[in-house]
A and B are shown apart, each in its own frame.
Chain A
């Protein structure tokens, strides 16, 4: 605790941000004291990143409601340059470095050290870069190419870039998500060091242990609203107690009737995965999924709960025709028989379907109509001698439009023009037409409204009632608790628990999802 009376460096008051159809932030308040490390916690999609984008001018003044007061002055940022001029610098989760430029060039990109006349002053550039590297403890030559650096060092470089701009308020969005323990520890040390130099930090993180260790205060955001801000010192003392306090804040909402009822009659095992290990596609040696074992039975909805970066999507996509990762090992069985899932067509043939979390990028051809999107994965069933039976195709598409309740005048509407909920129903139709045994649904209700969510849940219920097995990946714990029979928790690439939904609580799941096991330190 500082001796002098704490003055606020930042106050965000009544921030409301709406995207077409969605209220991302609603009346959010955030007060950050000078010189503190302030953590922001919340589930995926709660609005944390949106809030930080408002603060840093990514969403310019005028596109949101509410006030930002920086150092007692009203701030109206039109873009990132405006906020950086006032010493507010954001480091995004996705690193924004140019791989084939040197460290020094990256640090001063857009902010080049120039001589009179405009030519770049390379001596000054490299000398100043060296000083900044020293400050962040990165032992590399300023002329090294960024492509030669690992993720940890790249993260440090981002910070060096930030402090080159005379940062006073540093915003870090999941800075340690991609780092191993050593790198994370180093980064946290650096933040402490900055604190002693008077730099204020805002940090978004899912690693609760880290927050408990480093943050002075924490603000909880849930469903686009700021729930509370509390002092870590008053939250209980032990790391454990603090983490529990945060978890309670993050999930503390009641389950109302947002999930259709379903009677569960699990049958025989449909999908079994044994000892599934996946490595990162471009960073050799980085394990993304480690030794995962799981099974799903007929008529059963099984959930996979995990935070961003836990390896949920990677697990699913590697299983679906090795669409992610390299050096994949492990065995998959469908109905007790080992299946070959080396390519997507083989995975489909084995009876596996995967509905991606990003339907626009991985699920749909947006410039094509509903009919052809629905038939895209099952053209083999619709064709003879290599030619498509288009009457049949129209009929099939029409049937799915009816049964899935896709709300359009006909099936010749371009998919890009549909709402998120209807798009999701088109993707589901596409996969149902392949007559899969097991469906893997990755964030099936992301970005769609509450009504459409209910419809998707109803469809899932119908599927399992007809004897299919469904594996659901979701960041929303209430959703998993509402629709699943069983839930696996995934943390840092490992399955850390298997919980029957009857005995599961959000707090219990969250604790498993944030559990870092001893093995982690090996990385």
Chain B
């Protein structure tokens, strides 16, 4: 069955993965029209990145947890707690900004180890452990902050989330550096795709037609460069975007190519078989949660830096946004299926919807209703798709 797949085959076969990208494009198009192009203005795009970065960071950790067959309801509280720890050290005790950052990360790791211990070694379902964690860490946040907000953070700390990479290559009405960075990224992506394609051909696997392959690259490159141009004409490259890009690349690598990542998929796909294949299930489960704690602390730092404050109610409901991003992005409720990129696109769908509806002046209540329905439909589609696949067997 070697050969070249046509467009139709490509879509029908991979409807699960391609469906999400199509949905994303449609949603972006819809809201561009509804907001008279305001959604895609350079200023709004930058805001969008800054405003939803911490949800995306959480979604990276969450999708790994979900692939492993668990859930984490506590991440919102952990975002608040890590931000609070940083604030107490930096704002109240006047320590340097990096002490706050390190302490926040340390707190996140401890929280992750705590939850990982109960899930992996005591065998309590993650739903319960993290539900308890949600209350526990919210309570600790109040305790640490003495129930009051702390602000403002010094400029160095805030710039983690609000700063932009300086225009190293000078400006001509736009930031050249941003464009160069993105161009390098696009070229890297193209080279990598080409190598993969060659490897697949060498292994006699189906690949898309050459025209389609080039077309795909051109479309992706144009969209990314257009996005870069938009950023460049506004204020340049946001520091957060670099953090996010590094995390996405690193975790894509980990989930796709590392032994740890493989074990996560194996545990989620068939726990008993993984165990009998020599996977140290408890250890993997433990590190999954430690990792979630780490990413929650990064999100906590970014969030507190962006609002330049630590508030007792920070991060409320973040867990639900992160979980929704994973499921919209194609992760399976039963575990074993999901990707970091999928979760990112799922998160962006949520972000574009929230942002677009806000721009249109739609109130919070309606936004919640719409987001709820989208989540439900996304999972319903997933279930339907699975049944269809089973029937075709």
Q: Does A399 contact B (CB under 8 A)?
A: no
Chain B residues with CB under 8 A of A388 = 257-259, 262
Question: A367, B337: Cβ atoms under 8 Å?
Answer: yes
Question: A366, B276: Cβ atoms under 8 Å?
Answer: no
Q: Does A180 contact B (CB under 8 A)?
A: no
Contact of A367 among B1, B2, B205, B269 (CB under 8 A): B269
Chain B residues with CB under 8 A of A362 = 272-273, 276
Chain B residues with CB under 8 A of A344 = 275-278
Question: B259, A386: Cβ atoms under 8 Å?
Answer: yes
Q: Does A400 contact B (CB under 8 A)?
A: no
Question: A379, B262: Cβ atoms under 8 Å?
Answer: yes
Question: B273, A363: Cβ atoms under 8 Å?
Answer: yes
| Shortest distance from the beta carbon of A385 to any chain B beta carbon, whole Å | 9
Chain B residues with CB under 8 A of A75 = none
Question: A365, B278: Cβ atoms under 8 Å?
Answer: no
Question: A386, B278: Cβ atoms under 8 Å?
Answer: no
- Interface residues in B114-136 by Cβ distance below 8 A to A read none
Given contacts A379-B259, A386-B258, A386-B259, contact A365 B273 (CB under 8 A): yes
| Shortest distance from the beta carbon of A418 to any chain B beta carbon, whole Å | 10
Question: A386, B337: Cβ atoms under 8 Å?
Answer: no
Number of interface residues of B (CB under 8 A): 29
Q: Does A430 contact B (CB under 8 A)?
A: yes
Chain A residues with CB under 8 A of B1 = 409-410
Question: A365, B266: Cβ atoms under 8 Å?
Answer: yes
Contact of A376 among B205, B277, B337, B393 (CB under 8 A): B277
Chain B residues with CB under 8 A of A364 = 270, 273
Q: Does A123 contact B (CB under 8 A)?
A: no
Give Cα A323 to B257, complex, Å.
Answer: 28
Question: A354, B276: Cβ atoms under 8 Å?
Answer: yes
Q: Does A27 contact B (CB under 8 A)?
A: no
Question: A390, B273: Cβ atoms under 8 Å?
Answer: no
Q: Does B10 contact A (CB under 8 A)?
A: no
- Interface residues in A337-369 by Cβ distance below 8 A to B read 343-345, 347-348, 354, 356, 361-368
| Shortest distance from the beta carbon of B44 to any chain A beta carbon, whole Å | 39
Chain A residues with CB under 8 A of B278 = 321, 344-345, 347-348, 377, 434
| Shortest distance from the beta carbon of A439 to any chain B beta carbon, whole Å | 14
Query: Which residue on B lies nearest to A354, using beta carbons?
Result: B276
Query: Which residue on B lies nearest to A317, using beta carbons?
Result: B276
Give Cα A142 to B188, complex, Å.
Answer: 72
Q: Does B100 contact A (CB under 8 A)?
A: no
Give Cα A348 to B280, complex, Å.
Answer: 12
Question: B274, A410: Cβ atoms under 8 Å?
Answer: no
Q: Annotate B258-289 by CB proximity to A: 1 below 8 A, 0 otherwise.
A: 11101101100110111111111000000000
Given contacts A377-B277, A409-B1, A417-B393, contact A365 B269 (CB under 8 A): yes
Given contacts A388-B257, A410-B204, contact A361 B277 (CB under 8 A): no
Q: Does A394 contact B (CB under 8 A)?
A: yes
Chain B residues with CB under 8 A of A343 = 280
Chain A residues with CB under 8 A of B276 = 320-321, 323, 344, 354, 356, 362-363
Chain B residues with CB under 8 A of A321 = 276, 278
Contact of A361 among B204, B259, B273 (CB under 8 A): B273
| Shortest distance from the beta carbon of A28 to any chain B beta carbon, whole Å | 29
Give Cα A347 to B276, complex, Å.
Answer: 10
Chain B residues with CB under 8 A of A466 = none
Question: A366, B269: Cβ atoms under 8 Å?
Answer: yes
| Shortest distance from the beta carbon of B277 to any chain A beta carbon, whole Å | 4
- Interface residues in A277-335 by Cβ distance below 8 A to B read 320-321, 323
Closest 10 CB pairs of A and B: A365-B269, A409-B1, A377-B277, A345-B278, A376-B277, A365-B270, A344-B278, A348-B278, A383-B259, A362-B272
Supply 27 A–B pairs (Cβ within 8 Å), ascending by A: A321-B276, A323-B275, A344-B277, A344-B278, A347-B278, A348-B278, A354-B276, A361-B272, A361-B273, A362-B273, A362-B276, A363-B273, A363-B276, A364-B270, A365-B270, A365-B274, A368-B269, A368-B336, A372-B262, A375-B262, A376-B273, A376-B274, A388-B259, A409-B2, A410-B205, A412-B205, A417-B393
Q: A344-B275, A410-B1, A410-B205 are in contact. List 17 more A-B contacts (CB 8 A).
A: A323-B276, A354-B276, A361-B273, A365-B273, A365-B274, A366-B269, A368-B266, A372-B262, A376-B277, A376-B279, A377-B278, A383-B258, A383-B259, A387-B257, A388-B257, A388-B259, A410-B204
